[in-house]
Structure 1
Amino acid sequence: MEAGLSFSAADLAQTRFAVSPMWEVVTSFRLLRGTEGEPPLHRRWAAQVWPRLAEAGLDRGWLAALIPERGYLADFLNPTPMTPFPTLTAELDAIRQTPAERVQTELDMLDAERDPGRSPRIRLLREAPEAALQKVAAEIEAYWELALAPYWDRIRQLLEADVFHRARQVAEHGAGQVLSELHETVRWDDGTLRLVHRHCALSRSEAGAGLLLVPSAFAWPRVLTRSVPPDPPQLAYPARGIGTLWEPRSTGSIDAVAAVLGRSRTLLLAELDTPASTTQLAAQFGLSAAGVSQHLTALRGAGLVTAHRAGRSVLYARTAVADALMTPADRPAGGR
């Protein structure tokens, strides 16, 4: 199946990029619950995250009702980003404000691909959309804290690097070439963006002006689209460098950093390449939980770690500042 999105000069002028937290929520959740085997590029991340989601019941909640393993998913989960780098809070506010008629329309589209009315959550969305959307937003916040927040610095760096690279390519080679290089199923052909993809449904007659391009860490190996007039169409595509996203970050400067922070805190930073709790870190290093907590509090105060609630535990993760600090001076952060 091939879909074509025609461009006028005005459409091309309104084409822009955005990094969207909600696109990462949608694509990562779909990847986690897929039935096509373990996601090879994201196996390390999925092995850490899936047990937390199952324990919290998030594998069978609102997101599971609205994001099938394949096919159409509810478009109101991906509101149009109003800035290049919107916050999750801003996108959740937009979701909560989705008009009831749009919710009904999109639920009809979901039901067209599944057994209609089989989910009590879908029925509640139909009967009381305003109250149900509050519950959807609350579950997204819980999912974010468990699955994405501890890793967001790393993911955001990848997505922002993609945007800056492609913006530079637009300046050097023009938008047509950049559009052709987004994905193997996307090509620019004489004023039309053509998509060859089973689930793409994108045409200018069904979309608003311009085009919004959204790099995603979890969309691979396909592209996803959203077309809800009068909003501009959105195309989420795999970001460059996904293969290196979960590679362990270099810690070759431990001795140099330890001279400033102390060895215990530096070793904790090195270990937090993978998010971990105080209990896990205490067991790993043979330290008391109180001692580890004191070190983590100091590191958090210095902006080197972040804390994220995961059920009864708190997960600590290294920030981008700490990644740069732990990377040898002669190598770029992330080894790229």
Structure 2
Amino acid sequence: MGEIRFGVDDLAQLRFAVSPLWETIAALRASADPGCHALHLPWIKQALTIGRDRTDLLAHLPELDALAPPPRCPLAEIEEELAALTGPPELADLLLVWWRAGVRPHWPRIRAVLEADLAYRTRQLAEDGIQEVFAHLHPSLRWSEDRLSWTGPPVGRIALDGGGITLAPSAFTARCVLISGRDGVPPCLVYPARGIGTLWERRAEPGDGLARLLGRSRAGLLSRTSTPTTTTGLAGQTGLSLGAVSQHLAVLRDAGLVTGHRYRREVYYRASELGLALLERTP
């Protein structure tokens, strides 16, 4: 059991992050305990074949949460996060090898789920306030007046001191993880992302009717915007260049089939009601 008290400045400093490093650690933990991560079994079956690159890192698993820096922004690169990792120097090298072999090949798909969660939470924060965000973040969390409490393993005192807190969705984490701030970086709450049940589903390609209407590339992009995603995410999923994705999205947006909204330095695209209706009705 634990509790964090929020001051006025802390409420104004709520931020969101996506962390390749924390996903890499959480993925390693999931691969070591398939029974508790049944949703990831299609991926775990592949991960277990990686061999020594994975098994060498498993010995460090108990200490990784304490050594990794708290996530801090939606656009972090894993090399940047590894540079802030404490602990034995070779640990960063092991994590980078595991990232490249086990996580990076699937990162566009994983990041799309995380970005969709961020878009949902930021919209919820703007429309309903921080109380609703925490009320629906995870069953173990409770918000009352100016305090966030949680059930689970006790942790040390988490002091916000006006610096706020970062919220980071995770595709591989089954529970909330509270990380103390350090070196000027505020504390972070890692929580299970929404929509992970769809993470490893085989995505159906758009039907011939939609492809004839829009062109196969635009039809494919539209089918991937049922949840908010970015130009970079769509390029990773489809294999198209960033320039080609941007051009196709501009046409779809002008036709009223997708909408875009900006979050910091990125624009998230989502199928409009018209676009969703077209996807549902076109064979």
Q: TM-score, normalised by structure 1?
A: 0.60
| Partner residue, 1:20 | 19
Q: Is the 8 A contact 1:163 1:215 kept in 2?
A: yes
| Partner residue, 1:151 | 106
Q: CA offset at residue 59 of structure 1?
A: 3.0
Q: Kindly provide the amino acid, as one letter, of the partner of residue 236 in structure 1.
A: V
Unpaired segments of 5 or more residues in structure 1? 104-124, 126-132, 267-298, 305-323
Match of 1:86 among 70, 73, 76: 76
2:253 is aligned with 1:253? no
Q: Is the 8 A contact 2:6 2:146 kept in 1?
A: yes
| Partner residue, 1:271 | none
Q: Kindly provide the amino acid, as one letter, of the partner of residue 60 in structure 2.
A: L
Structure 2 Cα separation of the partners of residues 16 and 161 of structure 1: 15
Unpaired segments of 5 or more residues in structure 2? 221-237, 245-270
Structure 1 Cα separation of the partners of residues 150 and 161 of structure 2: 15
Structure 2 Cα separation of the partners of residues 163 and 21 of structure 1: 15
Structure 2 Cα separation of the partners of residues 23 and 208 of structure 1: 25
| Partner residue, 2:121 | 166
2:89 is aligned with 1:141? no
Larger Rg: 1
| Partner residue, 2:135 | 180
What does 1:1-336 correspond to in 2, within 5 Å?
A: 2-34=1-33, 37=35, 39-52=37-50, 54=51, 57-61=52-56, 63-68=57-62, 73-77=64-68, 79-95=69-85, 98=86, 103=87, 125=88, 133=89, 135-198=90-153, 200-201=154-155, 203-205=157-159, 209-220=163-174, 222-229=175-182, 230-253=184-207, 330-331=278-279
Corresponding residue pairs, total: 229
Q: Secondary structure at the match of 1:22?
A: helix
Structure 2 Cα separation of the partners of residues 136 and 91 of structure 1: 13
Q: Is the 8 A contact 2:54 2:98 kept in 1?
A: no
> How many percent identity over aligned positions?
35
Q: Is the 8 A contact 2:143 2:149 kept in 1?
A: yes
Structure 1 Cα separation of the partners of residues 161 and 46 of structure 2: 38
Q: CA offset at residue 252 of structure 1?
A: 3.6
| Partner residue, 2:256 | none
Structure 2 Cα separation of the partners of residues 166 and 188 of structure 1: 16
Structure 2 Cα separation of the partners of residues 174 and 161 of structure 1: 19
Q: Is the 8 A contact 1:181 1:187 kept in 2?
A: no
Structure 1 Cα separation of the partners of residues 198 and 240 of structure 2: 29
Structure 2 Cα separation of the partners of residues 161 and 188 of structure 1: 23
RMSD: 3.1
